[in-house]
Amino acid sequence: MNLPFFIAKRYLFSKKKQNIINIISWISMAGIVVGTMAIIIIVSVLNGFTDLIGMFYSDFDPDIKIVSVEGKMFNPESIDIEQIKSMPDVVSYAEVVEEVALLRYGKRQYAATIKGVPENYPDYTNIDKLLIEGEYYLNKDGIDYAVVGRGIANNLGVGISFLDPLHVYVPKKGKQVSLNPSRVFNHDYLFPSAVFAVLEDVDSKYMLVSKEFATQLFDSGNTISAIELDIADGANIDVIQDKLEEIVGDTFHVKNKEQQHDLVFKTMKSEKWAVYFILVFILLLASGNMIGNLTMLYIDKKEDISILDSMGLPIKQINRIFVFEGWLISLVGGIIGTILGVFVCWLQITFELIKLPGAGGSFVISAYPVHIIFTDIVLAFTAVLIIGFIASWYPVKFMSNKHLSSSNIA
């Protein structure tokens, strides 16, 4: 039997000479419980928002996108396209043309990214689900149409019921500046057929047109901006991505959905870790109660220490009693905090108790999203144990140097 641990366990639940020590002990444990809960709940909510944003992007973006490392355009014949199409997990293959253009509607002007997509674009995205107005079609009865992002529509004042066309201007390739705009700009017009809404950075950037319209507008010829692939459900994206990288070589980037918006997801991950370390630091400050508790307990048990010392128990073992006492407080508090934190997250996931402020019926969710990740729980619990060790070790070392003949501790 581990004698220091046994005595520490008795000290944890036994009544002290000074009742204030019991109170401080429970306050210390309560602080750890609350701190552990806060870490798990807040980090899980951040995970939920990350998943939510990923879901929005997932509806608009392909599973995998192949783009050139150098330059905006490339010739698809430089890639073994047939090998890509023949991969068993590749469901849809699409070539897109994407470039910035100037839009004009009435007296308003706006710079946007024109994305020319093929007919099978709705097959590998959920663009129909994203429409808030109108119907998806890019060509009808020989007339070109556009599906406009909500941000672009708001800036230009465009509506699908308006009769005036939307004018598009693109600088001609290789043309010098001239006073005659027709010599330096390609110009065309089309009508909006629908308005879609994803996220602000997408809504205010993209306008979808047919690939044929974009090819003619940008004079792109046989070149394209990207190859977009739809991958079968359940397939391992990482494995497919590695195979595609072998096929296309080092001159092309093969990006999964997260990598297509790597800045957004990297920023959210950075925010998550920043919040995690801030909460850990707050937990470290809250552990000051434990330092005071162990210091007072050490003084309260001076007679017991003298008896154990006279019975031949090494000072190292005596110090371990109080180190174990601090560890037990951290361990019990961490376990209770973890259980309560996971339970609160489960309640939010199941019953959506806390609603998002201002979320109406048109919003995709009405309550705070939550996603529990096992590694986050492990990290939170590990942080509690490390903080508990530091908060236990320091006061024991100090009191041992002050009241005992040796300064060695466990």
Residue 220 has pLDDT above 70, yes or no: yes
DSSP state of 193: E
Rounded Cα–Cα distance for residues 408 and 386 (Å):
20
Strand 166-171 to 185-196 pairing: antiparallel
The whole-number pLDDT of residue 362 equals 54
Residue 74 main-chain phi, psi, to 5 deg: -150, 160
Q: Look up tokens 């509607």; give the residue.
A: 105
202 with 252, same domain: the answer is yes
408 in any annotated domain: no
User: Is 377 part of a structural domain of the chain?
Assistant: yes
Pair (7, 105) in one structural domain? no
Share of the chain above pLDDT 70, in %: 91
pLDDT tens string 38-62: 999 999 999 999 999 999 999 999 9
Specify the residue for token string 């903080």: 387
Please give the helix or strand (H or E) that residue 99 lies within, else none.
Answer: strand 90-105
| Number of compact structural domains in the chain | 2
Taking the CA atoms of 193, 198, 200 and 201 in sequence, report the sign of the dihedral they define. negative
- What 3-state class would DSSP assign to 42? helix
Report pLDDT for 12: 76
Same-domain check for residues 78 and 202: yes
Q: Are residues 208 and 102 in the same domain?
A: yes
Q: Per the domain annotation, does 201 fall within a domain?
A: yes
pLDDT, residue 2, reads: 79
Whether the Cβ atoms of residue 158 and residue 166 lie closer than 8 Å to each other:
yes
Which stretches does DSSP call E strand in 203-296?
Answer: 206-210, 226-231, 252-256
Nearest CA-CA partner of 11 in 228, 282, 226, 305: 305
The average pLDDT across 69-77 equals 94
Whether residues 202 and 312 share a domain: the answer is no
Residue 409 lies in a domain: no
- Tell which of 199, 228, 256 closes a domain: 256
In the predicted structure, residue 104 carries a pLDDT above the cut 70: yes
Residues 160 and 280 in one domain: no
User: pLDDT higher for 403 or 167?
Assistant: 167
Domain assignment of residue 388, yes or no = yes
Residues 134, 251, single domain; the answer is yes
Tell me if 91 sits within 8 A of 240, measured CB to CB: no
Domain check: are 319 and 225 in the same one? no
Residue 410 located in a structural domain: no
Query: Which range of residues forms the domain containing residue 182?
Result: 63-256
Shared-domain flag, residues 112 and 236: yes
Q: For position 359, what pLDDT does the model report? A: 61
pLDDT one-digit tens code per residue, 356-377: 886 655 567 889 999 999 999 9
Interval 238-293: pLDDT, tens? 999 999 999 999 999 999 999 999 999 999 999 999 999 999 999 988 888 888 88
Residue ending a domain, choose from 228, 256, 284? 256
The answer to the question of residue 366 being in a domain is: yes
Residue 108 lies in a domain: yes
Listing DSSP states for 224-239 in one string gives: BSEEEEEE-TT--HHH
Q: How sure is the predictor about 378, in pLDDT bands with cuts at 50, 70 and 90?
A: very high
pLDDT digits (tens, 9 = 90+) for 307-338: 887 888 888 888 888 889 888 999 999 999 99
For residue 351, pLDDT over 90 is answered with yes
pLDDT of residue 357: 83
| C-beta atoms surrounding 343 within 10 Å | 12
252 Cβ contact partners less than 8 Å away, ≥ 6 residues apart: 66, 67, 68, 69, 74, 79
- Cβ pair 36, 319 in contact under 8 A: no
pLDDT in tens, 123-165: 999 999 999 999 999 999 999 999 999 999 999 999 898 889 9
Instruction: Look at 271 and 26; give whichever has higher pLDDT.
Output: 271
Q: Residues 116, 173: one domain?
A: yes
What whole-number distance in Å separates Cα of residue 131 and Cα of residue 148? 10
Residue 306: the pLDDT is 82
How far apart are alpha carbons 356 and 45 in whole angstroms? 12
CB count within 10 Å of CB 312 equals 7
What is the structure's pLDDT at 51?
Answer: 94
| Res. 409: pLDDT tops 50 | no
Smallest CA-to-CA distance from 370 within 387, 351, 357 is with 351
**Predicted pLDDT of residue 84:** 97
* Mean of the per-residue pLDDT values of the chain: 89
Q: What pTM, to 2 d.p., does this model score?
A: 0.85
The counts of H helices and E strands in the chain are 15, 11
Q: How far apart are CA 122 and CA 21, in angstroms?
A: 67
Indicate whether 343 and 399 sit together in one domain. yes
Choosing from 204, 230, 256, the residue where a domain stops is 256
Query: What token pair was written down for 396?
Result: 């024991």
Whether pLDDT at 206 is above 70: yes
- Looking at 43-47, 162-166, 172-176, 405-409, which range is the least confident one? 405-409
Span 79-107, average pLDDT: 95
- Residues 186 and 313 reside in one and the same domain: no
